[in-house]
Amino acid sequence: MFLNKLAAIRDLSRLHDIAAILIRYGYGDIVARLGLTSLLERAGLEHSATLEYAHLASPVRARRALEEMGPTFIKLGQLLSTRVDLFEADWITEFSKLQDSAPALPYSQIEQQLTEDLGAPPEHLFLSFETQPLAAASIAQVYRARLKDNSDVIVKIRRPGIKSIIEADLRWLMRLAELAEQEYPDTLSFQPRDVVRQLSRSLKRELDFTIECRNADRIAHNFAYYHDVTLPEDTKITPDIVIPRVYWQWTRERVCVQEYIDGIPGRQLAAVDKAGLDRKKLARLGAHAVLKMIVEDGLFHADPHPGNIFYLPQNRIAFIDFGMVGHLTEVRREQLIQLLLGLVQHEPLRVMDILLDWTGNSAKDETELNQEIASFLDQYHGMPLKQLRLGEILADMAALLRQHQLRLPSDLILLIKAFISLEGMGRELDPDFNMAGEAMPMLESALRARYKPAAVIKRGIKSINEAISLISGLPHDLSTLLRAARRGRLEIHIEITHLKHLGNQLDGAANRMVIGIVVAALIVGSSIVMTVPGGPSLFGLPFFGLCGFLIAAAGGLWVLMSVWKSNRADRD
């Protein structure tokens, strides 16, 4: 049944490729459980696992398999690299190595789609268009062009046909996640279906370039008047943080046109020194910029690694690629400030309360959790700020939650990933970079700003408006409640997890009992039929009696398998 759902015609060739890769990396048992063995045999593939990669560690094998399976799985690995609440450090490190690159498609294969999206051939719209791509990734290729007003731009083009490939992969992944949760109870702690749903949302946003460009515009607006006070006064003639301008007249779902950034790529640190830029100032500026996005704006670049950053003259920084951004509500930002202050100022109760509020769960033993958090913070108590690695602290904190089976929401996972990337980039620029020292003044300033009279009055007015709205709607709610009660339609829904599980067990037991009774009746009836002469026969036996015994055997086998699976699930 699973294979029938899975093996839609449109997905079969893709499944063939994926299954072959899984087998090559020693995951043949997964292929067998998916019911793809017969499919591969018909295609002439061996389904026994090879020993080619047996010597590799499990995280390495998983990463290399994801690389070979293509863009969707590379994105999956990149997403998993952010899930410090689910995976150990060695897995996170390996997933972080996944690079989104691919051989470039010839321009001739892209030209027709580009003409359709732009509404005219590129040579009619641009003064010049370079057909050799600047970069090629799994989802898009980037070309350099010049507008008729002599502005240099980049043209980002989605690869033709990539959307259908990704959609097929996502269907396959969701079914694989469902199978994993059914057949491997240990994987429930990794939340396979939730991870696939998160991946699906992320990829759908990334496939639509208008979403990325809207993010860029919003962040550019937030930095329109930003100037870092640590830089000399004479640099105020230009913004410290540069976000590429979007040319909306040529931007569509499959193509976007943005300002070309002529700077030093973030990975070329030798070029930074050669250009005479101050690496310490760049590290501080990058940290302040991302902290501003997180603490003040609530919209932040979720992947600030060196590949998404350029260094510009006058110690300025340009951010590119806003396909992955994080969103934080005002309430969440205040909680974040309280958490970071609690971590640095050694306040375990404050930290635990915020973490439990974030996870939406209660720890099995809150006293034990509080003690572990206190012990965790003791490691850093009294340590100078310059020695604190804030990204590592947050990652270790997520690992502590993982031990207590508590899960952070996705926006906070992105936040931790951003902190880790930012701190790593800062230390590459400046070995003495102190993320905690840079963050503390901004956090304390943001906390003080919250209690300024204007901010308190604003929150008070908002609370009063909400209270008035609630009170004004109360008569209508009461009227609706009483009307439902008079008509006998008042319903109270109470869901108790343990009772629901018990109900499911009773339903399963009843189903097995009914099938058992039917099997017994078939056996008795078939035995009687066997003694009655006449009628059709097969192999010298009464046909109907034989059919009854076969159906009874199948039903009995089903009952045995059902009981075995139920007992195994109870033990797990």
DSSP string for 42-98: HTT---SPPSTTTTS-HHHHHHHHHHHH-HHHHHHHHHHTT-TTTS-HHHHHHHTT-
Q: Is the pLDDT of residue 7 over 60?
A: no
Predicted pLDDT of residue 540: 67
Q: Averaged over 164-190, what is the pLDDT?
A: 77
Q: Averaged over 457-484, what is the pLDDT?
A: 78
Predicted pLDDT of residue 387: 65
Q: Which residue has the tokens 């898009």?
A: 140
Q: Which residue has the tokens 């919003």?
A: 218
Of 44-53, 410-419, 540-549, the range with the lowest mean pLDDT is 44-53
Predicted pLDDT of residue 143: 94
Of 36-45, 69-78, 83-92, 438-447, the range with the lowest mean pLDDT is 36-45
Task: Kindly tell me the sign of the dihedral angle through the C-alpha atoms of 551, 554, 558, 564.
Answer: positive
Q: Averaged over 482-486, what is the pLDDT?
A: 77
Residue 511: closest CA among 549, 551, 548, 561: 561
Predicted pLDDT of residue 36: 61
Residue 230: closest CA among 278, 295, 297: 278
Q: Which residue has the tokens 């490691």?
A: 379
Of 47-51, 207-211, 239-243, 286-290, the range with the lowest mean pLDDT is 47-51
Q: Is the pLDDT of residue 114 over 80?
A: yes
Q: pLDDT-derived band of residue 157, with 50, 70 and 90 as boundaries?
A: very high
Residue 137 in contact with residue 145, Cβ under 8 Å? no
Predicted pLDDT of residue 6: 45
Residue 339 in contact with residue 418, Cβ under 8 Å? no
Of 36-40, 240-244, 322-326, 504-508, the range with the lowest mean pLDDT is 36-40
Q: Is the pLDDT of residue 101 over 90?
A: no
Q: How far apart are CA 2 and CA 480, in angstroms?
A: 46
Q: Is the pLDDT of residue 393 over 60?
A: yes
| Other Cβ atoms within 10 Å of 311 Cβ, number | 24
**Is the model's pTM score more than 0.75?**
no
Residue 295 in contact with residue 336, Cβ under 8 Å? yes
Q: Averaged over 120-134, what is the pLDDT?
A: 91
Predicted pLDDT of residue 5: 45
Q: In a 10 Å sphere around its CB, with 0-12 CB exposed, 13-18 middle and 19+ buried, how is residue 298 labelled? A: middle
Q: Is the pLDDT of residue 376 over 70?
A: yes
Comparing 309 with 490, the larger pLDDT belongs to: 309
The two three-digit tokens of residue 464, written as one number: 């009063």
Residue 65 in contact with residue 25, Cβ under 8 Å? yes
User: Quick one: residue 558, left, alpha or beta (phi over 0 = left, psi -120 to 50 = alpha)?
Assistant: alpha
Q: Averaged over 470-490, what is the pLDDT?
A: 77
Predicted pLDDT of residue 312: 93
Comparing 364 with 492, the larger pLDDT belongs to: 492
Highest mean pLDDT among 33-47, 419-433, 470-484, 545-559: 419-433
Q: Averaged over 328-340, what is the pLDDT?
A: 81
Predicted pLDDT of residue 189: 65
User: What count of residues does the chain have?
Assistant: 572
Highest mean pLDDT among 133-142, 153-162, 351-360: 153-162
129 DSSP β-pair partners: 145
Residue 131: closest CA among 107, 156, 113, 109: 107
The two three-digit tokens of residue 539, written as one number: 């192999």
Q: How far apart are CA 292 and CA 311, in angstroms?
A: 19
Q: Is the pLDDT of residue 47 over 70?
A: no
Predicted pLDDT of residue 206: 85
DSSP 133-175: -SEE-SSEEEEEEE-TTS-EEEEEEEPTTHHHHHHHHHHHHHH
Residue 342 in contact with residue 351, Cβ under 8 Å? yes
Q: What percent of the chain shows pLDDT beyond 70?
A: 77
DSSP 476-541: HHHHHHHHHHHTT--------HHHHHHHHHHHHHHHHHHHHHHHHHHHHHHHHHHHS--S-EETTE
Q: pLDDT-derived band of residue 34, with 50, 70 and 90 as boundaries?
A: low
Q: pLDDT-derived band of residue 48, with 50, 70 and 90 as boundaries?
A: very low
For helices 410-429 and 279-291, the axis angle rounded to 10 degrees is: 170
Q: pLDDT-derived band of residue 112, with 50, 70 and 90 as boundaries?
A: very high
The two three-digit tokens of residue 272, written as one number: 């930074």
Of 1-5, 145-149, 183-187, 493-497, the range with the lowest mean pLDDT is 1-5
| Other Cβ atoms within 10 Å of 319 Cβ, number | 24
Q: Could you tell me the end-to-end alpha-carbon distance of the chain, in angstroms, rounded to an integer?
A: 25
Predicted pLDDT of residue 1: 42
Q: Is the pLDDT of residue 530 over 80?
A: no
Of 150-164, 206-220, 385-399, the range with the lowest mean pLDDT is 385-399
Predicted pLDDT of residue 18: 78
For 201, 244, 299, the CA distances from 217, given in Å and listed in that order, are: 21, 9, 11
Q: Are strands 241-242 and 316-319 parallel, antiparallel or unpaired?
A: parallel
Q: What is the pLDDT of residues 297-318, one digit of tens each?
A: 888 888 787 888 999 999 999 9
Q: H or E segment at 555?
A: helix 543-571
Highest mean pLDDT among 287-296, 339-348, 494-503: 287-296
Edge-to-edge strands of the sheet including 316-319? 241-242, 316-319, 309-312, 264-265
Q: Averaged over 270-284, what is the pLDDT?
A: 91
Q: Is the pLDDT of residue 49 over 50?
A: no
Given 3-state DSSP classes, what are the helix, strand and coil percentages for the chain, each rounded to the nearest 5? 65, 10, 30
Radius of gyration of the chain (CA): 30
Q: Is the pLDDT of residue 558 over 90?
A: no
Q: pLDDT-derived band of residue 233, with 50, 70 and 90 as boundaries?
A: very low
Q: Is the pLDDT of residue 416 over 60?
A: yes
Q: What is the mean pLDDT of the chain?
A: 77
The two three-digit tokens of residue 410, written as one number: 């996705």
Residue of 194, 303, 570, 572 marked active site:
303
538 DSSP β-pair partners: 541
Q: Is the pLDDT of residue 407 over 50?
A: yes
Q: Averaged over 147-161, what is the pLDDT?
A: 92
Q: How far apart are CA 286 and CA 230, in angstroms?
A: 12
Q: Averaged over 77-94, what is the pLDDT?
A: 77
Q: How far apart are CA 18 and CA 41, in angstroms?
A: 15
Alpha carbon 454 to chain centroid, angstroms = 38
For 41, 221, 227, 241, the CA distances from 236, given in Å and listed in that order, are: 68, 17, 7, 11
29 included as an active-site residue: no
Q: Is the pLDDT of residue 3 over 50?
A: no
Q: Is the pLDDT of residue 408 over 80?
A: no
Q: Is the pLDDT of residue 268 over 80?
A: yes
Predicted pLDDT of residue 539: 66
Instruction: List alpha helices for 278-434, DSSP H.
Output: 279-291, 330-344, 348-359, 366-378, 390-403, 410-429
The two three-digit tokens of residue 3, written as one number: 């294979």
Q: Is the pLDDT of residue 434 over 60?
A: yes
